[in-house]
Structure 1
Amino acid sequence: MYAEGAPCWVDAELPDVEAGKRFYGELFGWTFEEAFGSSVWARLDGDLVASLAPKTDGRMPTVWTVSFATPDAAALGRRITAAGGQVVMAPFPVAGLGVAALATDPDGAVFGLWQAGTHPGFERRYEPGTFVWAELYTRDTAAANTFYGELFHEALFGSGAEPDFGRADVSEVFPAEMPPHFLTHFRVTDLDDTVGAVQRLGGRVQVPPFETSYGRVAVVTDNQGASFAVLRR
């Protein structure tokens, strides 16, 4: 089980799940199987690493969403509201796998909550082809540090804690008008080759490779417009 505040899962909401399977299967070597509803599990060498789901409303964005672990999604939702955030989708059960919710921080960045049932979250991470980092791009990093520090103090600052999400000013990488958001990072062995593969598979480069404190990164979109980052450490 993941400690409260640890990124424990990522999922993509896509217009066309079959197209997503082709793109990510080729890019990361993922295989897929039916999950719940019309969603599919993504596996790497048999281990669960992500999920893809069809968008239920065409007006919703095509996105990757990172979810943070919690033992009690309802209680965490109340703390989020008290700290100035919002719960935009109240906790709901997911096919016996756990309880999910969707929230925003005070600046509007969206993130998920996951209260594990039979599905604890990632079975593999930090390796090539899997989740490695989530970066919050925000307009007020000091306020973000206060908000997330209050919610997830132990995961961020506890003894021996190794945070796997960070905070940066949105204008450091993106245009100032870009809304605050979490950017899911997947680890790769060769950044330039991966960027080339993204383009060959119908995706595009949003931000060419650049250096960060946690590795060399490029921001890309898949063949349906969902943004994510690839990271070489």
Structure 2
Amino acid sequence: MAALPEGTPCWADAMFPDVEAAKSFYGELLGWTFDEGSTEFGGYTQARSDGKAVAAVVPRMPGMDTAPAWNLYFATSDISATARRIADNGGALLMDPMPVADFGTMVTAEDPSGVYFSVWQAGSHEGFEKIGELGAYCWAEVTTRDVEKADHFFPAVFPYTVKRMKDESVDYRLWYIDEAPVAGRFKMTADFPHEMHPFVNVYFGVEDCDAAIATVGRLGGEVHHGPKDSPFGRWASVSDPQGAVFSVIDIKTTAGDMPEFV
């Protein structure tokens, strides 16, 4: 398989205080099955949809008290150079480039606006084996208040072409690689709680958005926004019972005209 273009979202994982509860929740909501957790890598447990790798969950390390959150990885072919660009453009490296056996090499960082993310230089693990489908990663948005910092940082680190939504009632940007949109940037509005940390909003595909959010509520999660119709699909922003925020989207149920980006 050819290497993914620089800056392409390529993997997602989340750390939980109760990984068995997370497996139960996402297994029922998204139909995931799970590999045996790797003791060598702290119980890192890969999730699968139709037998294909789509994400991972991992037990929170002893002594950590950070809230659970989904972490998005961006592909790179030269992780050392990417790490330098992160530091040179005001980002914070939370770790040096770290080899993960023969799977690849990773860096975790924070952008100047406060968004955590990771970078992945693939070895034997190339990332998502399924995207844009039921039970799989479909989209992601850097969701932050300080959009000026994010708007400078990410296109400086990755080779993105940027377009803004022409409708100025929504502060939204699209990031393109080779004319294809790969992720978005959304400005947090007053609807977001003041104490909510900036984050990457990861979207997972579901068969029926309304049924999915009913399942979220039944399993002890929370619905934050939606469901909402859009030209991209019917979606809702939710959190799991342990507090990790993400979105669900039914990409086949669309409504309205595509927004214009300039």
TM normalised by structure 2 equals 0.82
Of stretches 33-42 and 192-201 in structure 1, the one that deviates more from structure 2 is 33-42
CA 1:118 to 1:22, structure 2 compared with 1: closer, same or farther past 3 Å? same
Amino acid at match of 2:17: P
Which residue of structure 1 lines up, in the alignment, with residue 259 of structure 2?
none
Distance 1:142 1:178 in 2: 18
In the TM superposition, residue 20 of structure 1 has moved relative to its aligned partner by: 1.2
Deviations 1:109-137 (A, max 9, x none): 00011110100000001101111111111
Which residue of structure 2 lines up, in the alignment, with residue 168 of structure 1?
186
Of stretches 212-221 and 112-121 in structure 1, the one that deviates more from structure 2 is 212-221
SS at structure 2 position matched to 1:174: coil
CA 1:213 to 1:151, structure 2 compared with 1: closer, same or farther past 3 Å? farther
TM normalised by structure 1 equals 0.92
Distance 1:158 1:17 in 2: 35
Taking the TM superposition and a 5 Å limit, the aligned residue runs for 1:1-233 are 1-36=3-38, 37=41, 38-56=43-61, 57-154=63-160, 156-163=175-182, 165-171=183-189, 173-211=191-229, 214-233=232-251
In the TM superposition, residue 211 of structure 1 has moved relative to its aligned partner by: 4.5
Aligned pair count reads: 232
SS at structure 1 position matched to 2:220: coil
In the TM superposition, residue 146 of structure 1 has moved relative to its aligned partner by: 2.4
> Could you say which structure has the larger radius of gyration?
2
- Residue pair 1:154, 1:161 contacting (<8 A) in 2 also: no
Instruction: Structure 2: state its 5+ residue gaps.
Output: 162-174, 252-262
CA 1:159 to 1:63, structure 2 compared with 1: closer, same or farther past 3 Å? closer
- Residue pair 1:218, 1:231 contacting (<8 A) in 2 also: yes
In the TM superposition, residue 173 of structure 1 has moved relative to its aligned partner by: 4.6
SS at structure 1 position matched to 2:107: strand
**What is the percent sequence identity of the aligned residues?**
43
Distance 2:4 2:54 in 1: 14
The structure where helix makes up a greater share of residues is 1
| RMSD over equivalenced CA pairs, Å | 1.8
Distance 2:151 2:241 in 1: 33
- Residue pair 2:5, 2:177 contacting (<8 A) in 1 also: no
Distance 1:172 1:214 in 2: 24
CA 1:58 to 1:40, structure 2 compared with 1: closer, same or farther past 3 Å? same
In the TM superposition, residue 159 of structure 1 has moved relative to its aligned partner by: 2.8
Structure 1: 4+ residue segments shifted above 6 A:
none
SS at structure 2 position matched to 1:3: coil
SS at structure 1 position matched to 2:134: coil
Of stretches 219-228 and 173-182 in structure 1, the one that deviates more from structure 2 is 173-182
